[in-house]
Amino acid sequence: MKLNDDPIRAVPMRVLLASLPMIAILTGVAHLLEWPILHVLIGFSVGVIINLISFYLMVKSAKKLLNKEVGGLSAIGGNGFFGRLVLYGVGLFLMAHLSLYALLAAAIGVSMVGLVLKVGSILSINSSQ
């Protein structure tokens, strides 16, 4: 998949593929530190799901902006911004109530889209040289 592909299709697949080794690493760390593995896996999964939903909402908002379907305050980025913040807040709040381990794993999960995009851009820069 190239970075020029439709991000709605390409990025979630990359995130899911990158999540597999992350799950193995988190499970190993949780086992070594004697953390509840189920809480860590639930936290990471919820974090990834929240991050993918947020990414979808951001891309949808950007497409509306490019097609000039919005105007006024929402044209400068307000469209869906607070909804994404609420989504992150509710998800992390729920994981904090489950356990600290779930919260830490969810924090890693919500960074997966950014991590995948950064690694993908680094790899594309290195392959073009």
- For 46-60, what is each residue's pLDDT tens digit? 999 999 999 888 888
Q: What percent of the chain has pLDDT over 90?
A: 47
Query: Does residue 63 or residue 75 have the better pLDDT?
Result: 63
Q: Which residue has the higher pLDDT, 72 or 112?
A: 112
Determine the Cα–Cα distance for residues 67 and 30; give it in Å rounded to an integer. Answer: 46
Distance CA 53, CA 59 (A): 10
Query: What confidence tier does 73 reach under pLDDT thresholds 50, 70, 90?
Result: low
- Confidence bin at 119 (pLDDT 50/70/90): confident
Assess whether pLDDT exceeds 90 at residue 81.
no
pTM of this structure: 0.81
**Is the Cβ–Cβ distance between 25 and 4 less than 8 Å?**
no
Q: What are phi and psi of 119, to 5 degrees?
A: -65, -40
User: For residues 48 and 113, what is the distance between their CA atoms, to the nearest angstrom?
Assistant: 8
